[in-house]
Structure 1
Amino acid sequence: MRPVEGLTRDAFLGGKLSICQPEQGYRAGIDPVLLAAAVPATPGQSVLELGCGVGVASLCLGVRVPGLTLTGVELQPFYAELARGNAHANGIALDIVTADLAALPASLRARDFDHVIANPPYHLRARGSAAPDPGRETALGEATPLALWIETAARRLAPRGWLTLIQRAERMPALLGAMDTRLGGVEILPLEARPGRPAKLVLLRARKGGKSAFRLHSPLILHEGSRHERDGDSYVPAISDVLRRGAALPWPA
């Protein structure tokens, strides 16, 4: 099926998913795939994604773990409608709620979830320049503080439920500072492009009511070798399994 003008149809998970998304503006890359792969979900559980965009993270998770109850919240109606279409096209049940996470509808506020996942905007708008495309700017430029993302997640999690986030490494102090006292057992997994390079992204896991000590894991390396030396990707086998075959991300024990 060909997308309409201004949209592209892109393969994820080695073709297991076909995703329609804007040709210009915010386009999903590997970040939501890595986020989905890090979620410790099991069949029969419920998952809420805050800021789901076109639905890539939730749909990747749905491919890997059958029998989940998936719900996504998306502020921008255009992206929310694309997410609904992507879910239908891929035969995955995903309920999309068009809403601001700061003002969730009563129907969502009455529910709790085994997992909440999110890929919050990466950039503080006190710094840098806004993206010219409004959809991309909303996705990447922070308007809702990280503290509100964490607060909303904590409220929607069931007892012992898991929060999983992906965020830029430079935002880690703000991310940790925003952690709600209801969330414990915080673990940070840095994602390092190549050995010896500073990590640009981190994955965070926390548990509602968790009591274990904070853990900062050794970085997970994404690419082989110290530099890019050939055409095509050079992902290490475990990451290639995540991106091409929908495998779970190897979270440290």
Structure 2
Amino acid sequence: MSSEQPLPISLDQILGGRLTLAQPRDGYRAAIDPVLLAAAVPAAAGERVLDLGCGVGTAGLCVVRRVEGCHVMGIDVQPALIELAQRNARDNALADRATFHVGDVLHLTEPAFDHVLANPPYLERARASVSPNPIKALANVEGDAMLKDWVVAASTAVKPGGSITFIHRADRAEELRAEMGRGLGRLHLRPLLPKEGMPAKRILLQGIRGAPAGFEILPPLVLHEASGGFTEAAEAILRRAAAFSMMP
């Protein structure tokens, strides 16, 4: 690594062993959110996808593993995570279709992508207890870029007719919907329920640049059975790399 103190890492498998990720052993670690996010991106062969705040590349690599022939670029402000993302692309034999670069969501300038996905920091700085671990802090708590800036960046980067997909906390769904509604149409929200009958903690929200205005709440995805194991629908996404439609 480029820092004076090497970043302790672990090697973890996701998508039922279809991807192996090198990621920081301490601080923020990829869980199921980026995998669910990637499954909802309606990418096709030949299309370009942008992963905003890509971290170690989890969501973007899930997309290119699932969709043969598509290409992903990821950006993140943390050079140490970009080095790991680049390593993960190489180690999974995906470097020809997945590239990662140090970049800031506040400085995107042109619509060059067919799809954009984002798993932004979930917490507002004014209301959050900031972790002393800098990697975890940047992943979990908004910095210079607030939620509206992430939406503007995604809208700037996507081509007309392209999709933008976010995963976020359910208690910020209305805020995210309002921001995405300023430049996107055909908004579809899908709640993610921990178990049947429980309130959603996360939501997926997708919109199309240039589409007619509209908003629809789709049936929820239930993640866990009452016994604690994943539901069949969740297993298909998390273990078997299945797509997850955001259309009615």
Into which bin does the TM-score normalised by the smaller protein fall? over 0.9
Is residue 246 of structure 2 the alignment partner of residue 244 of structure 1?
no
What residue number does 2:3 align with? Answer: none
Do the aligned residues in 2 keep the contact of 1:238 with 1:249 (CA within 8 Å)? no
When the two structures are aligned, how many residues end up with a matched partner? 240
Are the structure 2 counterparts of residues 95 and 111 from structure 1 closer, same or farther at C-alpha, using a change threshold of 3 Å? Answer: farther
What residue number does 2:173 align with? Answer: 172
Question: 1:212 Cα shift?
Answer: 5.0
Is residue 30 of structure 2 the alignment partner of residue 28 of structure 1?
yes
What residue number does 1:136 align with? Answer: 136
**CA distance in 1 between partners of 2:198 and 2:32 (Å):** 18
Give the TM-score taking structure 1 as reference length.
0.91
Do the aligned residues in 2 keep the contact of 1:53 with 1:74 (CA within 8 Å)? yes
Question: 1:89 Cα shift?
Answer: 0.5
Question: 1:6 Cα shift?
Answer: 1.2
Alignment deviations for residues 165-193 of structure 1 (CA, whole Å, 9 cap, x no partner): 10000111221222253211111000001
What residue number does 2:50 align with? Answer: 48
Q: Name the SS for the 1:206 alignment partner.
A: strand
**CA distance in 2 between partners of 1:251 and 1:102 (Å):** 27
What residue number does 2:123 align with? Answer: 123
Do the aligned residues in 2 keep the contact of 1:151 with 1:180 (CA within 8 Å)? no
**Aligned with 1:38 (options 37, 40, 47):** 40
**CA distance in 2 between partners of 1:123 and 1:10 (Å):** 26
Is residue 100 of structure 2 the alignment partner of residue 96 of structure 1?
yes
Q: Name the SS for the 1:193 alignment partner.
A: strand
Q: Name the SS for the 2:74 alignment partner.
A: strand
When structure 1 is superposed on structure 2, of 113-122 and 211-220 the one drifting more is 211-220
Question: 1:220 Cα shift?
Answer: 1.4
**CA distance in 2 between partners of 1:30 and 1:183 (Å):** 26
Do the aligned residues in 2 keep the contact of 1:154 with 1:180 (CA within 8 Å)? no
- Correspondence 1:48-87 to 2 at 5 A: 48-87=50-89
Give the TM-score taking structure 2 as reference length.
0.93
**CA distance in 1 between partners of 2:180 and 2:20 (Å):** 35
**CA distance in 1 between partners of 2:245 and 2:214 (Å):** 20
Do the aligned residues in 1 keep the contact of 2:42 with 2:245 (CA within 8 Å)? no
**CA distance in 1 between partners of 2:206 and 2:247 (Å):** 12
Instruction: Output the amino acid matched with 1:79.
Output: L
**CA distance in 2 between partners of 1:204 and 1:216 (Å):** 9
In structure 1, the gaps of 5 or more residues are 229-233
Are the structure 2 counterparts of residues 29 and 75 from structure 1 closer, same or farther at C-alpha, using a change threshold of 3 Å? Answer: same
**CA distance in 2 between partners of 1:47 and 1:126 (Å):** 32
Question: 1:128 Cα shift?
Answer: 2.9
Question: 1:251 Cα shift?
Answer: 3.9
**CA distance in 2 between partners of 1:210 and 1:252 (Å):** 14
Are the structure 2 counterparts of residues 121 and 21 from structure 1 closer, same or farther at C-alpha, using a change threshold of 3 Å? Answer: same
Instruction: Output the amino acid matched with 2:186.
Output: G
What residue number does 1:231 align with? Answer: none
**CA distance in 1 between partners of 2:180 and 2:59 (Å):** 22
**CA distance in 2 between partners of 1:5 and 1:159 (Å):** 40
Instruction: Output the amino acid matched with 2:237.
Output: V
Is residue 211 of structure 2 the alignment partner of residue 210 of structure 1?
yes
**CA distance in 2 between partners of 1:25 and 1:91 (Å):** 26
What residue number does 1:155 align with? Answer: 156
Instruction: Output the amino acid matched with 1:124.
Output: E
Instruction: Output the amino acid matched with 1:29.
Output: A
In structure 2, the gaps of 5 or more residues are 1-5
Q: Name the SS for the 1:161 alignment partner.
A: strand
Do the aligned residues in 1 keep the contact of 2:48 with 2:113 (CA within 8 Å)? yes
Alignment deviations for residues 189-246 of structure 1 (CA, whole Å, 9 cap, x no partner): 0000101111000001100011152101232111112x53xxxxx1111210111111
Are the structure 2 counterparts of residues 188 and 180 from structure 1 closer, same or farther at C-alpha, using a change threshold of 3 Å? Answer: closer
Superposed CA RMSD in Å reads: 1.5
**CA distance in 1 between partners of 2:102 and 2:245 (Å):** 33
Q: Name the SS for the 1:149 alignment partner.
A: helix
